[in-house]
Copies of this chain bind each other. A is one copy, B any other.
Amino acid sequence: MTQTVTPYHVSGDIDYERLLDDFGADRLPDATQERLGHPLARRDVFYAGRDVERFLDADERSVVTGRGPSGPMHLGHVLPFYFAKHLQDAFDATVYVPLSDDEKYYAKDQTYPETRDYLRDNLRDVLAVGFDPENTRIVVDTDDADVVYPVASAFAGDITHNQMTATYGDPPNVGLAFYPAVQTAHLLLPQLVEGAHATLVPIAVDQDPHVRVSRDVAAKAKYDASKPGALLGKFLPSLDGPGKMSSSEGVAIHLDDDPDAVREKIASHAYTGGRATVAEHREKGGVPEEDVPFQYLQAFFEPDDDRLRDIEAAYRAGELLSGELKELAADRIVEFLRAHQSRKADLGALDAELAPYRLTADERERARSAVGL
């Protein structure tokens, strides 16, 4: 089987177990998934990791989950933020949200003004998640460059050019060559600002190389920072079949989609585990493992374990038809989006809304001084 998984390319069917061998991460024990206390973990979307128990056992914790603004956000993009909010609520974790507009400018054929438009819209989506501003910091690489660049530059000296090309291949330009240092700044920043503690980075598995680079830098122990832990997730499948939900390929449900659009996309495009005819479905039953609407419910949108089990059983028994399962999933997603969109619509001017989430002058100074500046 051919598969390619790097931060800049995902192709082929994905063998998630084999990725663990390739990347050297550990499968999560069931007990750890339970302790995380969220459907995305106990339903096995977050299925592997590094140092997850250390995070759970720590007294002081932070979570880093970011976004590269290259377009409007879809469901696959926002679920990690809702998961981070859960970790904030359940474990009092400080959440850092880096927005890597520089990376998207380097990696995509998009200008900074275009990137800026995506950035502003994405920031409103991040704000709509409802993080606690006291315990959340949103960092925009080009707006917070006074701290991002000095910290990244300190780490850049510890990331060899060979390590970068071995991890990512030859980059197209010198910006992307430098970007591993910026990403390392994102992942170690909470410790620089808040003091040494346990950081967890919940990410899709294709982003693992970034975490490994930052773990290598932390391991050099020149700074008072421990290796960030990684919580590795499977991709939310594209509506029309297996593979990563993507705006550029396949069909994605965007955060701004209205209920009609959501229902239409699911009704018309969702890949199901149903049979060719209703009669055959009644007789043989559906296959939840292959059914994208079921997978959406399982991953996130049906948090109640009993209800999910009932749905699964009814579908497998042929009692629930694919169309009915689609409607069920559509209802839950529409409900989720209504709440999200309502919070987003209630936001005022972006700068004012962002203000309480920005690094304070004192926090900026602590980060600089932690790297000797």
Contact = CB atoms under 8 A, between A and B. Distances in A.
Interface residues of A, number: 39
A173 B159 contact: yes
Interface string A98-110: 0000100110000
A272 to B, nearest CB: 42
A181 interface: yes
A181 B172 contact: no
A interface majority secondary structure:
helix
A171 interface: yes
Contacts of A177: 161, 164, 174, 177-178
State the number of copies, please. Answer: 2
Nearest to A154: B112
A276 interface: no
B156 A175 contact: yes
Nearest to A184: B174
Contacts of A106: 153, 156-157
Interface in A140-190: 141-142, 145-150, 153-154, 156-161, 164, 170-178, 180-181
A174 B170 contact: no
A113 interface: yes
Contacts of A148: 145, 149
Interface of A: 102, 105-106, 111-113, 116, 141-142, 145-150, 153-154, 156-161, 164, 170-178, 180-181, 368, 371-373
Given A157-B175, A178-B181, 11 more contacts: A105-B154, A112-B154, A113-B372, A145-B150, A156-B173, A156-B175, A159-B173, A160-B174, A161-B174, A164-B174, A178-B178
Cβ-closest 6 pairs across A and B: A156-B175, A178-B178, A112-B372, A149-B149, A145-B149, A146-B146
